[in-house]
Structure 1
């Protein structure tokens, strides 16, 4: 039921509104059961009227076009690799300070608050609803950063280390700003936190849990992820003795 609600209301499938990433053309996903019986969703999303990787590359390389800047702005708005306006240390201190308040609640244990209806005029501090909107956006950023710190930071350990290397490829390279390599035509998106999974702020705020959002900008990457996701359909289910062992451990 949760997945169905997500597909309808967040992705806008069979709904009277566009999805979080604009109009959805198609989707494909499967739910994986992990060793400790927790479930999580792997999903591929195709956006309606989107260009092919080849068409995007050609337009990105046109210096006379504003397409490159618009494309980067869109990607950075839905694919982020750093906290919102804060460093990890600052977020850690913010959480420590906020949690000292007796009324503080762990955001992973709460539901998201809907924003106030937007006004039909420019922001005006004399407008009570505009003030409510500003307060909500401030809360949105703080809560999202709190959620990211609790849920999206990768810590290496026995679960991911193989021969001294992390299977999840952490820590990731630090990238100060998004660049487009004119030689190999590759987009390298900004990433300021090396151990933070890339995410969409609104999605993190809604789901209140770990998420990993990636934009597939090449045919090779797309084929690899399609193979990765579809592989879960044919995964061998857990053995009975493993299930009982897991239940006992939990």
Structure 2
């Protein structure tokens, strides 16, 4: 991630240079483990000279600055792509190394055309093509409510060119409704799935901040699993106490109560820890003392 920040975003403590999105003023990213255990980063990037959403909307709606709108759309179309690049004509399918395109690194990555264009074609098809799964519809309540992907990815969601509607909303082009937004240079460098978003309004900014904050503060142990662990610990403690003799003195009873309370806390902690699951990637990241956030 540090290499990505320095060389792709163009931001380093010593000097700033032009990155793929422009000059970076600030950034914040946090590392999170998905359900299958693999690690990925959610990141916000502030571009130097970038305007806040309210200022952008004012230039569009109130000042009707057509030149500004044209330049903004040109910039966004250059940075954000969501289509499968065409396969070069009359090219040998075995021109590039076999295997998954994400596994090509270093000398195995093509640098000359048409192999490079074929590599990008393979990358987008394998990394950026959305495939509907159960998680796409986890908020669907069933008929008669229409069954729609919560990521708003659908073959029918196509927009030939980017535009700004009458309300000042920026609608980016969607050449292929099943392709996640990506940046060509970034995809070629990191060679993994991504979703690039432009924050064009206050509600968008709040939603993104909530999304990232939710990941930062999310407990690895779900609430229902915590309650089950607590219930199990209390039950075992009661069973243990039930087997003790009831002929103890008052002082012994007080001491036993204190001991029982301490034992309960300890058992609860152990029960919750035993129910947590960590992937090999998380364990390796912890052992190697890798950072879990970047700012």
Map Cα deviations across residues 108-145 of structure 1 (whole Å, 9 max, x no partner).
Answer: 11126799xxxxxxxxxxxxxxxxxxx83644433222
Query: Which residue of 107, 113, 133 corresponds with 2:101?
Result: 107
- TM normalised by structure 1 equals 0.75
Q: Find the counterpart in structure 2 of residue 122 from structure 1.
A: none
- Structure 2: segments with no counterpart, 5+ residues: 141-146, 222-272, 281-295
Q: Find the counterpart in structure 2 of residue 13 from structure 1.
A: 11
Q: Find the counterpart in structure 1 of residue 26 from structure 2.
A: 26
Map Cα deviations across residues 42-97 of structure 1 (whole Å, 9 max, x no partner).
Answer: 0001001111222222333555642211111100011112123x3xxx69x999x6
Secondary structure of 2:112's counterpart equals helix
User: Which protein has the bigger helix share?
Assistant: 2
Q: Which protein shows a greater Rg?
A: 2
Secondary structure of 1:243's counterpart equals coil
Query: Which residue of 150, 161, 174 corresponds with 1:191?
Result: 174
Q: Distance in 2 between matches of 1:176 and 1:193?
A: 9
| 1:211–1:54 CA distance, 2 compared to 1 (3 A) | same
Q: Distance in 2 between matches of 1:102 and 1:144?
A: 11
User: Equivalences for 1:51-130 in 2 at 5 Å?
Assistant: 51-61=51-61, 62=63, 65-84=66-85, 86=86, 98-99=93-94, 104=98, 106-111=100-105
Q: Across the two proteins, how many residue pairs are aligned to each other? A: 217
Query: Which residue of 151, 169, 179 corresponds with 2:127?
Result: 151
Q: Find the counterpart in structure 2 of residue 174 from structure 1.
A: 158
Secondary structure of 2:154's counterpart equals coil
Q: Distance in 2 between matches of 1:71 and 1:20?
A: 15
Q: Distance in 2 between matches of 1:79 and 1:184?
A: 22
- TM normalised by structure 2 equals 0.65
Q: 2:82 touches 2:175 (CA, 8 Å); kept in 1? A: yes
- Structure 1: segments with no counterpart, 5+ residues: 116-134
Shift of 1:102: 8.3
Q: 2:161 touches 2:172 (CA, 8 Å); kept in 1? A: yes
CA RMSD of aligned residues (A): 3.0
Q: 1:98 touches 1:104 (CA, 8 Å); kept in 2? A: no
| 1:240–1:147 CA distance, 2 compared to 1 (3 A) | farther
| 1:192–1:207 CA distance, 2 compared to 1 (3 A) | same
